[in-house]
Structures are given as C-alpha cells and as structure tokens.
Amino acid sequence: MAFEFKLPDIGEGVVEGELTKWLVQQGQTVTEDQPLFEILTDKVAAIIPSPRKGTIAKLHFAEGDRVSVGSVVVTIDDSAAASVPAQVPAQVPAQVPAQALAPAPAPAPALATTDRVRAAPATRKLARTLGIDLATVPATGEEGRVTRDDVQAAAAQATTPAAPAAQEAAPKALERGASEERIKIKGLRRRIFQKMRDSKDHAAHFTYVEEIDFTELVAMQAQLAAGGLKTTFLPFVMKAVVLSLQKSEFRNLNAHIDEAAGELAVQRRYHIGVAAATEAGLTVPVAHDVDQQSIRQLTETVRHLGEGARSGTLTAADMSGSTFTITSLGKLGGMFATPIINYPEVAILGLHKVEKRPVVLGDQIVIRERMYMSCSFDHRLIDGHVGAAFVQSIKTYLESPAFLLAELA
C-alpha cells in the first residue's frame, strides 16, 4: 500500500523549509530510520529519516523547492510491511547526524493552496494573523516572492472599496550568454538572500563608526593565556555589549520590531547572535543569557558555536532567539564596513581587525593596538545620538577592561 509521508513539525514556529537535497531515489528500497532528505528552515538544517521501510514510489518535490509542514514529500510503497504500524524512533538514530529530527507521530494537516506560494515564514504568519490568503496576493519580491508589504497592502485593500488592480510586472529575466555559468540560488545562500533583502526593505539603516584602543585588553588577554585561559576578544566584547544594553538609555536596542502590531518588543534577556562564516555561507548561532555567563564560560560557548557552525551540527536552539547580533571579519576586517541588521532586531555591531597603529597621546606618538568598530541601527527607532552614545559606552568598557571586570564582579 502507498504511504504518504508528510513534512512533520520540525521546530516551534517553523511552517516551511527548503528541500536542499534528496538522499534517496525513486524505486530505491529504504529501511526504517534511513535518511530521506535534507531540509533547511529559518532555524536549523535537518536530515529527515524514513518513518517506515518500503520502496520509494514518488518524490513530490525537487531540490530547492519550498515545502510546507504537512505537505506530502514522498510516497513510500510499504506493501510488504502493511500490517506493521509505523513506529517513531524514540531518539535520533545513530546513522543520522545529531541535528536530524525524527518525524512527528501525527503529521500536521496539509495546508491550503498557499503551500506553493513563495513567501518567508514570517510573511506567512502575518498573512494568517490578518486573514489574508497568500494565493490571492500579488507578489513584488525577488523571484516572485510575496513580501510583508504585499500582505499588508492586501489587508489594507480588503478594508477599502475595491479599485482596479494595477498589473504587476514580473521580474525580467536576463538574456542568457553563451559564455556564462548559471548557479541556482538555493539552500543557505537563498536563506541569506531573502533575509538580507528583508532587512534592507524594512530597516532604515544608519552606521556609526568609532576607533577602539585594544592595548590594555591585548595585555589582559596575554595574562589570561599565561594563566591557562586562551580566549579571543569576542567574550569581552559580548560582555561590554550586554552591560551597555542593560543601561536604561539603551534598553530599546535589545529588541525586535513587530511591524504588524506597530510595536517594539524590548527583550528582558540577552541572547547575542554571533555571525560565523562557513563554507555554505553566513550563519548566526546564538549565545544565550550572556549576562549570566563568565568570561571563561563565554569562551567555551563561542568555541562550541563556532565548531558547530562549521560542522553543521548546531541545533535549532543554537540558531534561534537572538536579541542583538555581533559580526566580525577578523583578520579580513579592513578599516570598517556597514553591517546589515539581523532583522527583526534593531541593531548590529561589526568588529574589524586589531592592528598596531601610531597614535598621539599627549605630545608623544606611540604605538597602540587599535580596531575600528561599526554599528548599524534602524533609524526609524534609534536616533543617531543614542546609537553613537551606545558605541561610546562599549568603547569605555573595552578600553578600560579593569572597569569591565569590576562590573562583572
């Protein structure tokens, strides 16, 4: 008999994902718990195992397609085992990577005709909240994607007298050249592609740049290394950021913007996203409750997140919940850049390269360890003087690490 396997609920708030890779082929015999396909969501990459043994009768999606929770992904002919009820593994099987998620016992019901509409999960959630059928909304986003603005426009039109609809122009395809190579934008790169577009479409970016003197922090780092604690500058920066966010005048920077409600959701916990470069692209693992961790603990947290990002073993919890993000180009940092906000957050801090530079102190030219720091803010919510003062607060802590440690005592 034919068993239709639907995409299970693979995480809180996840309504769809991108099928990035098939691990089986039509006609192939599979065993229970054998990996079927890879799925990429807004929160995690996962490998989905087979809930039962049988023969792959049909693959319903192609690699790169968006798949909604509850949609039939693969049909399995399990005639030989028809009398045996499907079992859900109690834990992830050994042959499946740690981030793999087992199918839910009762797959969610299939969604309506909006399943195949191209839209981000947040856009789908907004449409459900406003009672808008995505299948009826004209798409203006990249690659025919429905944006939040499209949904809000449809909701506004639904409450006003109908007017002749303007014909939406489809994106014009580029003429294919004889000497060019075409690369499908998919997987993590497509996720980055959309998140960057969402951020630029919504947040009104402005960037403030300051030069930070790291000389004393470099010396402290060397002392800690001599005592057995080898750490980077990042845990100190994270602590300086959180101490600044805890000040009443900067509390609105540790927040998310809820466009649909017209509200700023100020967060009471301090979860710092740390942008990490991987072979697949940029990921943002999250260090949770940074205010409650010591420098030693943060050093281990940063190491764990960095290794997990590179190996692809981070969990959904490791990749979600950030309230403020730090991005660093490390040795490639150059002078400064304009980091793009991790929307719906309202600010992001960019770190660059620490290097020796000549500096005038008093009447003397001395060599100091210096770094440029770039911080981008959503100017709709954060005034320029507030953003500048926030960076100056971070600078004070980093240039005088004794005061930073005194605050942490």
Whether pTM exceeds 0.85: no
> Do the domain assignments include residue 196?
no
DSSP assignment of 192-233: HHHHHHHHHHH--EEEEEEEEE-HHHHHHHHHHHHTT----S
pLDDT tens digits in sequence order for the chain, 409 residues long: 789 999 987 765 678 888 989 999 999 999 988 999 988 887 667 888 898 899 999 999 998 888 998 999 999 998 865 444 444 343 333 333 333 333 334 333 333 344 467 777 667 767 776 678 888 888 887 767 788 778 777 876 765 444 444 444 567 888 888 888 888 888 778 888 888 889 999 999 999 999 999 999 999 999 999 999 999 999 999 999 999 999 999 999 999 999 988 899 999 999 999 988 777 778 899 999 999 999 999 999 999 999 988 888 888 888 889 999 999 877 777 777 899 999 999 999 999 999 999 999 989 999 999 999 999 999 999 999 999 999 999 999 999 998 888 887 6
Distance of CA 341 to the CA centre of its chain: 11
Domain assignment present for 120: yes
Count how many domains the chain has: 3
Give the number of other CB atoms < 10 A from CB of residue 254. Answer: 23
Same-domain check for residues 116 and 206:
no
Q: What share of the chain is helix, strand, coil (3-state, %, to 5)?
A: 30, 25, 45
Distance (Å) of CA 299 to CA 238, 244, 304: 10, 20, 9
Pair (85, 217) in one structural domain: no
Establish if 144 belongs to a structural domain: yes
- Choice among 202, 205, 379, 385 that is catalytic: 379
CATH for 9? 2.40.50.100
Close Cβ partners of 110 (under 8 Å, ≥ 6 residues apart) = 6, 68, 70, 71, 72
The answer to whether 53 and 73 are in contact (CB under 8 A) is no
Longest dimension (CA), the chain: 89
Q: What is the spatial distance between Cα 131 and Cα 128, in angstroms, rounded to a whole number?
A: 5
Structural domain includes residue 116: yes
Which CATH number does the domain housing residue 126 bear?
A: 4.10.320.10
- Sort strands 272-277 and 324-328 into parallel, antiparallel or unpaired: parallel
Tokens of 19: 């099928």
Up-side HSE of residue 242: CA atoms within 13 Å toward CB?
Answer: 28
Which residues neighbour 244 within 8 Å (Cβ) at sequence distance 6 or greater? 250, 390, 393, 394, 397
Q: What is the DSSP letter of 366?
A: E
262 and 140 part of one domain: no
Residues 138 and 229 both lie in one domain? no
- Could you tell me if 104 and 124 lie in one domain? no
Q: How far apart are CA 406 and CA 320, in angstroms?
A: 31
Among residues 110, 136, 164, which one ends one of the domains?
110
Contacts of 181 (CB under 8 A, 6+ apart): none
Identity of residue 324 = F
CB 252 within 8 A of CB 266: yes
In a domain, 324, yes or no: yes
For residues 283 and 134, membership in a common domain is answered with no
Pairing between strand 324-328 and 347-351?
parallel
131 and 96 in a common domain? no
Domain range for 138: 112-156
User: End-to-end distance of the chain based on CA atoms, in angstroms?
Assistant: 66
Residue 333 falls within a domain, yes or no?
Answer: yes
CB atoms within 10 A of CB 107: 19
Structure tokens at 198: 């969402």
Instruction: Say whether 379 is catalytic.
Output: yes
Domain end residue (candidates: 51, 83, 110): 110
* Among candidate residues 156, 175, 210, the one where a domain is terminated: 156
